[in-house]
Amino acid sequence: MTPKAFDVIVCGSLHLDIMVQSPHLPRRDETAVGSAWGMKCGGKGGNQAVMAARMGASTAMIGRVGKDDFGRRLLDHLTAARVDISGVSVDETAGSGMSVAIVEATGEYGAVIVSGSNLAIDPASIASQWEALAGARILILQHEIPEAANIAAARAAKAAGAYVVLNAAPARGMARELLDLVDLLVVNRVEAEMLSGAPVTDAESAIRAMPALGGGRKDVVITLGGEGLVVRTRDGEPVVIAPHRVTVISTHGAGDCFLGMLCADLAQGKSLLEACRAANSAAAAFVSMTEEAQREVTRATLQARIG
């Protein structure tokens, strides 16, 4: 097999997040009084690319930003994390993607996104971008860009022998063609329930839902937040991985931390179970950190917290 230039290529979203600290999520017609706000570079694609790079994977990004201040911030953030941005195009008309996230005192949060330039990614250009980057061992996709772009990226990756990972978030239906191109499907409870049509509340119900998600034909991971996760390789039985008990400060970005560590370890040849155990530990450590610590997180700092 021809050597790949990168361990991981992420094709996905880039958003500039506005983070608002609030005692609680506002109810309808309520104006809650917040205590602080700040900016954070995000988008599931950008977050996962940064986390994969910080976990030691050579990483590149395929995406699109606007020709605006948000876009410059997003590109600078990727570059600072040593993510290759040669596959990120700049849109002359559409603004950069952005979101507003309200974070409760408990660490839970809710968010609204405006996709902007992310919706203008050209599926026809993705194969040439993959080739220009000289490929990767692993492709990571999410549901924050058009499905046609995901399908184009998955086709290019599969043709080059890469392992395709889809984090099917946020929850939405998907074409059979995309699902058939995916090697590893990673979903949380909400996404698993939507895609399987069965309630998913705990490990037992997650195991029951796995056949409807492709379990037995592809690798499947269902994350359960503070209850751990369930893993099923395509040729194995479901395995429950228990959670680490930590004091939660903020859950924002935990799923992206999990995906970054997972794919970095898969790219280094670890088994799916080994990679999931490491990613589970990393996500637990991540949610126990302050936002300041999260912004500077590395593999070493995560491992030091869990041991």
Residues classed as catalytic: 256
Q: What angle do CA 71, 76, 80 make, to 5 degrees?
A: 150
Strands 163-167 and 184-188: parallel
User: 85, 62 in Cβ contact below 8 A?
Assistant: no
The token pair at 115 is: 């996709």
Print burial letters for 27-58: b (CB count within 10 Å at least 16), e (below 16).
Answer: eeeeeeeeeeeeebbbbbbbbbbbbbbbbbbb
Name the nearest CA neighbour of 244 among 290, 163, 307.
307
| Sequence letter at residue 126 | I
